[in-house]
Structure 1
Amino acid sequence: MIKRGFFLFLILLVQQQLSAQIKQENYLALEKALGPESFFNGHLTGFMLYDLDSQHVEFEKNSQIRILPASTTKLFTLFASLVILQDSTQTLRYVSAGDTLKIWGSGDPTWKYKEFAQPDFQKVLGNHSVIQYSDANQVSPALGYGWQWDDYYYDYSAERSSLPIYGNLVQIQKNGAKLELLPSFFQNQIVPTSKRVKELERDFHSNRFYYNPSIYVGRERFIPFLSSPEILVQLAEAETGKRWIYKPEPLPSDHLVWRASALTPILKEMMQESDNFLAEQLLFMISDRLFQTLDTERAIEYMVKTYLNDLPDQPKWVDGSGLSRHNLFTPRSMVTLFEKLYRLLPEAELNEYLAIGGKTGTLKNSFQAAEPYIFAKTGSMSNNYSLVGLVKTKSGKNYAFAFMNTNFPYPASTVRKEVEKVMVIVRDGF
């Protein structure tokens, strides 16, 4: 019995030594992949790998340094939406006054946008013959703090508003030599030009659209329109068949609330397709739910002081989408946030919001493998590329990770390929 016990002890000791050796080899492999002689030494990189079962940090590099997150900011917006909005949007606040219905938009982005189930406005508009619209509850401006001024005519920079329609975008269709704009309200605003513009471009200060038919390429299918209450009431009249007027009255304390849309499809579209407009409108709805005003800054401040007060580093969070270069998060705060999402939702449900390597969303054409192993949110803009999410290893473990890169002079695709090499090391060795 003593000999048998001693033999089992030796086997256990050898196994522990082998395990420790393998673990050390894996650590050294990551050290080399991210070290002084690696590709990542040419720019600032922050990385953290965190075991979700043991709640132990397995590896980190510069995890305390704040880095521009780009669209990984949407993980913050996702978390805030889940805990505040829960399962439904905010659509309208309203008061009935005889034949007039007074309404204040709450930020719902779904009206005539993409393939979302449409709010049944007739339920609220009913037999009222006049709809009086007010945007007096909107505090935040149409464009976010720190957005690039020259992004105004790209579809990823649509304006924010209290009651958007068509996603605040004009759709462009080419019919022979003619361009057609939807909604047709904007059709007579097309101006021929001899400027060397290969796409339809909008004037900065107005909804005049310039088009050079001789060199038009037509890659861009949507362009933001300059939103205003006056334009909204005209578009809304055409859609509802009701008379709309604009009168910026303050929201009275005695009013009713209409929550018209399911939240989950909006969250999935925001995350899978990295839709900036949806992310911004979600923060509007969060602010409306909390404070009855559309104030992005106040909603963010509330979240940071309450649900996110235990982040290891104070975030600089200024918008919902990550368009702003003023956003700054550390990798370890990103991992902490992701762990919150991981504990909040069943894993299968969380993965439905994330892009899956080689399968869906912004990771459809990268991180390909017979068995998907990356479930994450990407974030990229010029000189920045980040990836935050879940990596499943061949040993069957789940790790949260944040891999953030900034200040590089080459295309984001170059960095993404190198990031993929590192994540393969994690997948195979941990």
Structure 2
Amino acid sequence: MPIKSFISLLLFLFTFQFAFGQEEAIKKRYQGLDELLGETSFFENHLTGFMLYDLDSQWVMFEKNSHINFIPASTIKLLTFYASLVTLGDSINTFRYVANGDEITIWGAGDPSWGYDILPQPKIKEFLAPYKKINFSDQNWNSTAFGYGWQWDDYYYAYSSERSPFPIFGNLVTISHSNNIPRVSPTLFKNSLSVTDKEMKGIERDFRSNAFYYNPKLYIPKKEAVPFITSPEIFVELASATLQKPIQLVKEVLPPGHKVFRGGNIRPLWSEMLQESDNFIAEQLLMMVSDQIMGQMNTERAIDYILKTYLMDLPDRPQWVDGSGLSRHNLATPRSMVDLMVKIEDLLPRNQLMQLLSQGGISGTLKNNYKAPRPYVFAKTGTISNNHSMVGIIRTSRNKFYAFAFMNNNYLNKASEIRREMEKVLVYVRDSF
């Protein structure tokens, strides 16, 4: 046999053997995942969807029910994050204004930062200091305090703060205590706290008013926060006290040619929303998106615009109704959530995205889960009763990167059990892919 033919034969045999070996390895990995997620697995007692996508080869490695809609809970915040990425840039529009001599009229732009102590503070007081007369208008607000489908009885929980055009103090009353007696801040509400004989250990608010109650016999002192009912009048009172100068409520329409006060960098908002799953920041970010693209704050119209433009090519159109995922009306398929992760990575370097997301065993909502000597899960979680999902990036032992969506609905187990079984699947991916 000629030497060239012999070498060609060897190359062919080597290539065939290599390809066959690769195929067998892929088949084995697939079978392993199928055993963990298939008919005889833990995940067959409820609705589960899973998709694993190689970010570098752009290849779907595994999928189960990836075409089925799930309640995504707080993983919907990734849609809000993407919307802010494509519309807002790096800086925050805090408010819009028109100045005339020593008089200024301001319109909120949705920024949740002012007085919200977990965020860097915009220099609002310094900017407004030269003006003797300050007017506030809410005529660019065209939305509601609560999102579509929010549970009404969540109204006094901190995770369900009301939305507003120009939030202050996170739209929360904060409770400290002295000698087992609660103290309310801001001072506008200090006389709104009353004693009740209702059986409760913390502070609750009246459903229809800013009246707060506690039972001194059962009260357990702790720092807590309770949403207050927002209104333009309440904002004016709180802002006036904070600035130590009067603010007048007016009904002026936002005119063309106005200016914008920029409060700072948007990344702290992203980090708090994605890692700590702050619902209030998520909702206000979506308001900021609406303000930017339409000059008014309307969640429904902003969502519709983003879906019809930047997200029109998703495999399945999500049913997206709020910024935070509090609503059970939100629906999304695992394959659309994976496609969303790909879109986000196209806009943001992978290492920056991984830093913004919660890291298993290290930060955010994953701090106590998915622990490993080297972090391997970087994701956004979402949990409401009987539903738990996670969408993000997994880094394998071979230093390969996969986008994944792991969605669970309608289970009767504890969420901790679901997380424990999910961890088995993701550890297998880490070690086998």
> Aligning the two structures, in what range does the TM-score lie when normalised by the shorter sequence?
over 0.9
Name 1:144's counterpart in structure 2. Answer: 147
Q: Which amino acid aligns with 1:188?
A: N
Distance 1:398 1:96 in 2: 51
1:400 to 403, 427, 432: 403
* Structure 2 CA distance for aligned equivalents of residues 235 and 358 of structure 1: 40
Aligned-partner Cα distance in 2 for 1:313–1:298: 19
Equivalent-residue separation in structure 2 for 1:297 and 1:220 (angstroms) = 35
Aligned AA (1:412): A
AA of the residue aligned to 2:152: W
Compute the displacement of 1:15 (Å).
Answer: 3.4
**1:54 aligned to 2:83?**
no
Instruction: Please report how far the alpha carbon of residue 127 of structure 1 lies from its aligned counterpart in structure 2 after TM superposition.
Output: 2.3
**Is 1:36 paired with 2:39?**
yes
Please list, as runs of the form range in 1=range in 2, the aligned pairs for 1:128-139 lying within 5 A after superposition.
128-139=131-142
Q: What is the identity, as a one-letter code, of the residue corresponding to 1:248?
A: K
Match of 2:421 in 1: 418
For the structure 1 residues 219 and 65, does the alpha-carbon distance in structure 2 shift closer, same or farther, using more than 3 Å as the test? farther
Query: Which runs of structure 2 are paired with 1:176-191 in the superposition (5 Å)?
Result: 176-191=179-194
Q: Indicate if the aligned counterparts of 1:199 and 1:220 stay in contact, CA closer than 8 A.
A: no
Within the alignment, does 1:310 sit opposite 2:313 as a pair?
yes
CA offset digits 1:150-201 (Å, max 9, x no partner) = 0111110001111111000111111112111111221111110111011100
What is the identity, as a one-letter code, of the residue corresponding to 2:136?
A: Y
Quote the Cα distance in structure 2 between the aligned partners of 1:96 and 1:345.
Answer: 37
Q: Which residue does 2:173 correspond to in 1? A: 170
* In the alignment, structure 1 residue 106 sits paired with structure 2 residue 101: no
Distance verdict in 2 for CA 1:362–1:259, change over 3 Å: same
Quote the residue 1:321 is aligned against.
Answer: 324
Corresponding residue for residue 281 of structure 2: 278
Deviation at 1:9, TM superposition (A): 4.7
Inter-partner Cα distance in structure 2 for 1:338 and 1:117: 27
**Matching residue within 333, 341, 354 for 2:357:** 354
Mapping of residues 23-422 of structure 1, within 5 Å: 23-218=26-221, 221-422=224-425
Q: CA deviation at 1:56?
A: 1.2
Shift of 1:248: 2.5
> Is the Cα contact below 8 Å between 1:141 and 1:160 reproduced in 2?
yes
- 1:375-418 Cα offsets, whole Å, 9 max, x none, are 11000110100010111112221111100000011221111111
Deviation at 1:6, TM superposition (A): 4.7
Structure 2 CA distance for aligned equivalents of residues 357 and 375 of structure 1 = 6
Deviations 1:219-238 (A, max 9, x none): 56111111111111111111
Cα shift at 1:25: 1.1
CA contact (8 A) 2:357 2:380 kept: yes
Code of the aligned partner of 1:36 = E
* Amino acid aligned to 1:368: K
C-alpha separation in 2, matches of 1:248 and 1:98? 20
Letter in 2 for 1:427: R
Could you tell which deviates more after superposition, 247-256 or 406-415?
247-256
TM score, norm. by length of structure 1: 0.97
Deviations 1:11-62 (A, max 9, x none): 4443333322221111011111111111111110111111111211111111
Q: Distance in 2 between matches of 1:12 and 1:353?
A: 42
SS at match of 1:271: helix
User: Alpha-carbon deviation of 1:130?
Assistant: 2.0
Measured against aligned partners, the alpha-carbon deviations of 1:318-373 in whole angstroms (never above 9, x if no partner) come to 11110111100000000000001112111111112101111111111111111111
State the shift of 1:421 in Å: 0.5
* Structure 2 gaps, min length 5: none
The AA in structure 2 aligned to 1:105 is: G
Q: Deviation per CA, 1:295-335: give whole Å up to 9, x if none.
A: 11111111001110000001100111101111000000000
Query: Quick check: 2:74–2:383 contact (8 Å CA) kept in 1?
Result: yes
Show CA shifts across 1:110-163 (max 9, x none).
001124222112454242222111111111111111111001111100011111
Following the alignment from structure 2 to structure 1, what is the Cα–Cα distance between the partners of residues 233 and 430? 54
How far, CA to CA, are the matches of 1:49 and 1:309 in structure 2?
Answer: 22
Unaligned runs of 5+ in 1: none
TM-score by length of 2: 0.96
User: 1:378 & 1:277 partners in 2: Cα distance?
Assistant: 16
SS at match of 2:230: coil
* Number of corresponding residues: 430
Distance 2:411 2:176 in 1: 37
RMSD: 1.5
Of 46-55 and 252-261, deviating more is 252-261
CA contact 1:200–1:218 (8 Å) conserved in 2:
no
